[in-house]
Structure 1
């Protein structure tokens, strides 16, 4: 990325992605899954992960400021060490694959997460998961890998918390803290190892801050107006289409 030499369409797409990031942190589920492949198409796989991360960090601060008191730290302490293992694996994978393979891995992870979202919706009330260390280990490593490669750990983490049967506020608060800790931990790794974050990309992120804030306001209004089922169906279809475009 050399200078801000984007087309008008790219600027619009970037602003829409920032808008969706803001919406995703105020209770509009799954919408950030659409952002990941869209940014990868514009900026490339690895570069897009570094561009998206600071926007997610800004939104995480907003989420934690509202829900910080509701976190269930016993689940965070089970999951975080394994998530860091997954991040370390992804850091190595990012070094040894080219950008085309990076985008392919992102696309596969997005499809996997869509599948998990759909499967989770069909298994709302069953006691499907054990409350054991190995389940936390598997989900933690998967989530850490997914969040480092493409910032797509949301559905994986959501399935873990749903399996623990947390109430709504505890679910949101625990998730807010998890992603704040993980995303801020990834920040220096992107700078030092992948070199996907620099002053230029951070300037782009700051320019998108108003769009992130607007997305938060629009998200609050949207949640009140449309049915969750209609929204989730639209998100899944659009996200699957975007992930498919990554493979082309």
Structure 2
């Protein structure tokens, strides 16, 4: 049996936010999806309901950004991400999701504050060069991204910490993040099934949410395609800061404040 009207009043805004993020408008919007849907269903079920929707959105995003992406960035980040997913699967019974949110959130907030400091230095005439590709940081942040994506659909902030300083052209950056998480979400399907977090009832419910999710994904891509780099990167860092703040709040509230 499909959920009632009250469920869709909450679920549709949740998938719209995630869809805008999938279109390229920043992980802060995506991170609101599970908490918002958790107002209607338990958090674990909310994450399970969102995974098929995320994969459907990925297909739309891959088509929208099919001509863009940085293969080198993908090659250097994906091995660590696969390790992170494997660790998340193996440690699923012991995972401290809230501690993970808090740690990632603090790192992201500090990362964005560093960007703000560098932006102030740039206004003072100090040129901040783009970072080169680095195997060590890519392995660590890729693993954090894969792990965070598996346990809490929160893999975007570690990805941004590595990729934003590369200063890729906006369309190449967006095409890269779309490909990266499309691969991660596809890989996550098997362990989610193995852990019993996906069943036929959840899949049926997810399918009813596909239309608004697809429309939001296309709308997000439409907006991002029209952003100049001078607008795109401050916007992305702002989204990263909001995502980090949200993770810090969620982790702190769960670990130290309680229900």
Same fold (TM over 0.5): yes
The structure-2 alpha-carbon separation of the partners of 1:142 and 1:150, relative to structure 1 and needing over 3 Å to count, comes to: same
Tell me the distance in 1 between the aligned counterparts of 2:12 and 2:248.
20
Match of 1:199 in 2: 200
Instruction: State the partner residue of 1:115.
Output: 109
Determine if contact 1:113/1:152 at 8 Å carries over to the other structure: no
Aligned with residue 140 of structure 2, among 91, 116, 138: 138
User: Which 5+ residue runs of structure 2 have no aligned equivalent?
Assistant: 120-126
Task: Indicate if the aligned counterparts of 2:18 and 2:31 stay in contact, CA closer than 8 A.
Answer: no
Range that drifts further, 136-145 or 46-55: 46-55
Contact 1:107 1:246 in 2 (8 A): no
**1:243 equivalent in structure 2:** 250
How many angstroms apart in 2 are the aligned matches of 1:139 and 1:114?
11
On the 8 A contact 2:105/2:248 being kept in 1, the answer is no
Task: Map 1:51-70 to 2 at 5 A.
Answer: 51-70=49-68
**The 10-residue stretch of structure 1 (50-59 or 213-222) with the greater mean CA deviation from structure 2:** 213-222
CA distance in 2, matches of 1:169, 1:201: 34
Structure 1 pair 75/5, CA: closer, same or farther in 2 (3 Å)? Answer: closer
Runs (5+) with no aligned partner, structure 1 = none
Q: Displacement, 1:150?
A: 0.9
Q: Distance in 2 between matches of 1:66 and 1:138?
A: 29
CA RMSD of aligned residues (A): 3.4
Distance 2:41 2:104 in 1: 17
Describe the shift of the 1:137–1:107 C-alpha distance in structure 2 as closer, same or farther (beyond 3 A). Answer: closer
Output aligned runs, 1:84-163, within 5 Å: 84-97=82-95, 102=97, 104-105=98-99, 107-108=101-102, 111-112=105-106, 115=109, 118-119=112-113, 121-122=115-116, 123=118, 126-127=128-129, 131-163=133-165
TM-score (norm 1): 0.79
Which secondary structure state, in structure 2, belongs to the residue aligned with residue 96 of structure 1? coil
Per-residue CA deviations over 1:147-186 (Å, capped at 9, x if unaligned) read 1011111122122122222111211111111111111010
* Match of residue 165 from structure 1: 167
Q: 1:60 to 1:201 in 2, by over 3 A?
A: same
| Aligned equivalent of 1:18, options 4, 11, 15 | 15
In structure 1, what is the equivalent of residue 177 of structure 2?
A: 175
1:64-101 deviations in Å (ceiling 9; x for gaps): 1121222221221111111011111111222235xxx5
Contact kept, 8 Å, 2:23 with 2:219, in 1: the verdict is: no
Q: 1:236 and 1:93 mapped to 2: Cα distance?
A: 28
Q: For residues 118-155 of structure 1, what are the alpha-carbon distances to aligned partners after superposition, in whole Å with 9 as ceiling and x for unaligned?
A: 43652457458563211111111111111101111112
